[in-house]
Structure 1
Amino acid sequence: MNELLEYSFVCACSGIVAGFVAGLFGVGGGIVIVPALYFVFGALGMEASHALAMAVATSLGTILPTSISSLRAHNRLGNIDWQVVRLAVPSLVLGACAGALLVSFFAGEWLSLVFGCTLLVVAWLVLRKGRGATDAVGSAKLPPVVLRVAVFFLAVISALAGVGGGALGSPLLVMGGYSVHRAVGTAASFGAFIALPSIILIALFSVSPEGAPPYSIGLISLPAWALISVCTYLVAPFGAKFGRQLSDRHLATVLAAFLMFISVKMLYTGITYYLALA
């Protein structure tokens, strides 16, 4: 009973924090959920590689309601460029399918190293761009072909790491000429088109590992998914409203610092695992 209460408490807290982060930065919340679930599943006795794979898959499941809530909030604030979204959707779906299949068959600690390095790079780029940011509503300068190719790889990496497209999509759009608020709002829509095909493929092709929590479908823990999804959906609009009060420069600085913090945590997880094997 104590383990069940602790499990539920950690999932609920993760959902609340992830929902606020999702609304504030336009991300799916996975950059909070994956490390939290990795710790929870590991505490339940799962092998490290299985715990990470299950954390990634369950996080992808929670991204769908979270991203929808965040998307609605940002749309009401006028932060979304739907022309960019329409151009990006086919590439997002294809990339998500590729990433989900890799998670189902080849997941491991190497995912944390790949994503940790990626976040360090994008954090630096956002911080550099944010120094000259203004509060004007910028226009994207990315050619359609470049946008489609970029979001394809964005979706692959996001599905591999169990996060929404906002973590990488926001920096991409900022570099493409958007104001930070506009970039965050537009990238908030990416998560739904990454999460839906990902969770369908993972549910169909993955197998629940030994020691998985009860009521799991493949790599997706249904109790964790349900509890986190409810919390993130309810809290995401508050994060979006709070982010609207910050200037572009301040929001860029906070986003970069947040990405760097999560990247260090992910790199630490991967490095310590492989050092233990040496």
Structure 2
Amino acid sequence: MDFMQDPLWLAGLALAMAFTGLASGLLAGLLGVGGGIVIVPVLFSVFPLFGIPEAVQMKLAVGTSLATIIPTSIQSARKHFAKGTMDVPLLRSLVPSIAGGVLLGTLLGVVVAGSAHTAVFAVIALAVALNMALTGVDWRLRDSFPTGKRRHSIGTFIGAVSAMMGIGGGTVGVPILSMFGAPIRSAVATASAFGVIISIPATIGFVYGGWGNPLLPPLSLGYVNLIGFALIVPASLLAAPWGVKLAHSIPPLLLKRLFAAFLGLTVLRMFWSLAS
């Protein structure tokens, strides 16, 4: 592990993190998805190139992704709230169950083996890809969000899956809210607040869970790499407007299909790594 102390190695890792941020911002602006669903797969592909042990690759990718979501989700939620498009009553009713799900997902993400963690990410990402590939822009299951125990079950699912996958509320939350009749703008606005509820406690959990692990690269707080946090956030903010500009020239349905293709390739890469 001494090679991780080499300044050239650290410089290369920093460049890779900056590239991850650019890719995340571009695809987030282009496809309208949270950066986590882009950051985790990219880091999962980048870390092996730098000799980071397989046992911590997925955990480090997830923890670093969650940390980058904190500032971006706070900024996004504030802007959506100011515009009045956020469904505040629904959000308030889901906060307890999402928070409970985050605790469960963080615990599982820290405890399970790296290969099992990768498999969970791949399966959920495949489900998201199929949803994006096979449904139309306005597809819905019903016209209102469930109440009672079903509502809390959905909130727990959103929190647990998002924390374990290292994603904000948008990737899972927006399709679910849209599925239950929420207009797309309201779904995006409300799910942006999910990201705040998910990212802060989950990041703390991944920091604590990885504290002192000798397999981690330098400048890591538990499973959060500070080089990644410092470079991914500004790079993604820089590239996001490029993606937004490009998105206005591409039909929405085609964007969904492009996102599905991206996730499909990611899933194949992860399953291949598990099989090899």
Deviation at 1:176, TM superposition (A): 0.5
Gaps of 5+ in 2: 1-6
1:49 aligns with 2:50: no
Higher alpha-carbon deviation: 29-38 or 110-119: 110-119
Measured after TM superposition, the shift of residue 123 of structure 1 is 3.7
Unaligned runs of 5+ in 1: none
The CA deviation at 1:38 is 2.0
Task: Please tell me the residue identity of whatever aligns with 2:229.
Answer: W
Look up the match of 2:163: 159
Q: For 1:7, which of 13, 16, 27 is the aligned residue?
A: 13
Q: With structure 1 as the length reference, what TM-score do the two structures score?
A: 0.82
Please state how far the C-alpha of 1:84 moved relative to its aligned partner: 2.0
Identity of aligned residues (%): 34
Count of residues in Structure 1 that have an aligned counterpart in Structure 2: 268
**Matched residues in 1 for 2:25 and 2:229: separation?**
13
1-structure distance, mates of 2:38, 2:129:
16
Partner of 1:6: helix, strand, or coil?
Answer: helix
What whole-Å deviation, never above 9, does each CA across 1:205-244 have from its counterpart, x for those lacking one? 323444422121111111211221233355557767876x
What is the CA distance between 1:40 and its match in structure 2? Answer: 3.0
Letter in 1 for 2:208: L
Aligned to 1:147: 151
Q: SS of the counterpart of 2:51?
A: coil
- Say if 1:57 and 1:162, in contact at 8 Å, map to a contact too: yes
TM-score relative to the length of structure 2: 0.82
> Cα distance, 1:81 vs. partner?
1.8
Q: Kindly tell me: are residues 196 and 242 of structure 1, through their superposed partners in 2, closer, same or farther at Cα, counting changes over 3 Å? A: farther
Cα distance between partner residues in 2 of 1:75 and 1:241: 23
Q: Aligned pair 1:183/2:184, yes or no?
A: no
Shift of the 177–241 alpha-carbon distance from structure 1 to 2, 3 Å rule, reads: farther
CA pair 151-25 structure 1, distance change in 2 beyond 3 A: farther
TM-fit CA distance, 1:52: 1.4
Shift of 1:83: 2.0
User: Does 1:19 pair with 2:19?
Assistant: no
Q: Does 1:29 align with 2:35?
A: yes
- Map of 1:128-147 to 2, 5 A cutoff? 128-130=134-136, 132=138, 141-145=144-148, 146-147=150-151
**1: CA distance between counterparts of 2:193 and 2:244?**
13
Distance change >3 Å, CA 124–CA 105, structure 1 → 2: closer
Say what the alpha-carbon RMSD is for the aligned residues.
3.0
Taking the aligned partners of 1:80 and 1:241, their CA distance within structure 2 comes to 24
Contact kept, 8 Å, 1:117 with 1:267, in 2: the verdict is no
Taking a change above 3 Å as real, the CA distance of residues 192 and 234 of structure 1, as seen in their structure-2 partners, is: farther
| CA shift in 2, pair 1:81/1:128, >3 Å | farther
